[in-house]
Amino acid sequence: MADTDLRYKRVLLKLSGEALLGDQAFGIDHSILATYAREVREAVEAGAEVALVIGGGNIFRGVSPEGTQMSSRAHADYMGMLATMINAMALQDALENAGLHTRLLSAIEMKEIAEPFIRRRAMRHLEKGRVVVFGAGTGHPYFSTDTAAALRASEIGADVILKGTRVDGVFTADPEKDSSARRFASVYGAEVIQRDLKVMDLTAVTLAKESGLPILVFNMNTPGNLRRVLNGEDVGTLVHWDETAEPVSLA
C-alpha cells in the first residue's frame, strides 16, 4: 500500500559499481543486484518514484590505474560510461525480475538497448510508476557518476539524492578502520567541503547546493534501510543547505 506520508516522494538513488562486486575481484554479483531490486520494489510499493544512477567501477573507471595509462583521459572516460551501461542493463534486468516496470535511459545514443535521455520523458516514466535507470553518466568525459546523479536529480525535480554505500553514513573517521568513529546525523553542506568528508565529489556537491538538493548517505546493504530513509527515520547522514541549522550533528 502506498504511503502518502513519505518524507521523500521522488528520489534519485546513486549506487557505486564497486558495490556489485561482492566478494569478487571483477564483475557483477547477481545476488547483490537481487537484494537491491527488492529494496527498490519496497520503495515503489510504498509510493515513491525512484530513479537510479549506477557507476561502472567494478568493470572500468577512467580514473583507475588502467585508465590513466591511456593516452587520452576522455577516451578512458567514455569507456567508463560504457561500463555503467553494462551495470545499468544488469540492474534493469534485476528490477524487472522483481516485478517492476523500468526504463533505461542513456546519455549516449544506444537506441537498440536504451532510450535517449529526454528530461520530460524521464519525468513522465516516473509519474507512471516506472523505475528509471540513467546510464552513461552525463555523456561527457571528466564528470563522475556522482555528478551525473546530482545533475539528473536536479533535472527530474527529485526531493533528495540518496547515496547508497556499505557503511551507515558519514563518520568522523573511517568506521571500517576506527571503532571510535561517530556517525554524523546531519552536516551542513559547506562542512562537507571544509572537513573533506568525501560524501560526493566537489562538482556533485556544488551542483546539489545550487539546486538546493539534500544528499542522504546511508547503508544500502542493510535490509529495509531504503524504506526507512523514505519514512524519514534516523538512518544515515543528511547533508543539508539550511544555514540556520547546526553545522554538524552527531548521532
Please report whether residue 62 resides in a domain: yes
Is residue 140 in a domain? yes
pLDDT of residue 62: 67
Question: Is 66 a residue whose pLDDT tops 70?
Answer: no
Tell me the binding residues for UMP: 56, 77, 138-145
pLDDT band (50, 70, 90) for residue 70? confident
Q: Which domain holds residue 195?
A: 10-250
CB contact at 8 A, 61 and 69: no
Q: How many domains does the chain have?
A: 1
Q: Which residues are annotated as a binding site?
A: 14-17, 56-57, 61, 77, 138-145, 165, 171, 174
| pLDDT value, residue 170 | 96
Burial 2-12 (b: 16+ CB within 10 A, else e): eeeebebbbbb
Asked if residue 1 belongs to a domain, the reply is no
Residue 3 lies in a domain: no
Q: What is the pLDDT of residue 24?
A: 87
Give the separation between CA 213 and CA 205, rounded to whole angstroms: 9
Closest CA to 193 of 181, 212, 208, 176: 208
Does residue 242 sit within a domain? yes
For residue 48, the domain's CATH number is 3.40.1160.10
- Enter the pTM of the model: 0.94
Annotated binding site for ATP: 14-17, 57, 61, 165, 171, 174
Whether 2 is in a domain gets the answer no
Tens-place pLDDT, residues 114-137: 999 999 999 999 999 999 999 999
Residue 5 maps to a domain: no
Question: Per residue in 29-58, pLDDT tens?
Answer: 999 999 999 999 999 999 999 999 999 999
Instruction: State the pLDDT at residue 78.
Output: 95
Cα–Cα dist 174/171, whole Å: 6
Per-chain mean pLDDT for the chain = 94
Residue 41: how many other CB atoms lie within 10 Å: 17
Residue 205 pLDDT level (bands cut at 50, 70, 90) = very high
Going by pLDDT thresholds of 50, 70 and 90, the confidence category of residue 23 is: confident
169 in helix, strand or coil?
A: coil
Query: Does residue 232 sit within a domain?
Result: yes
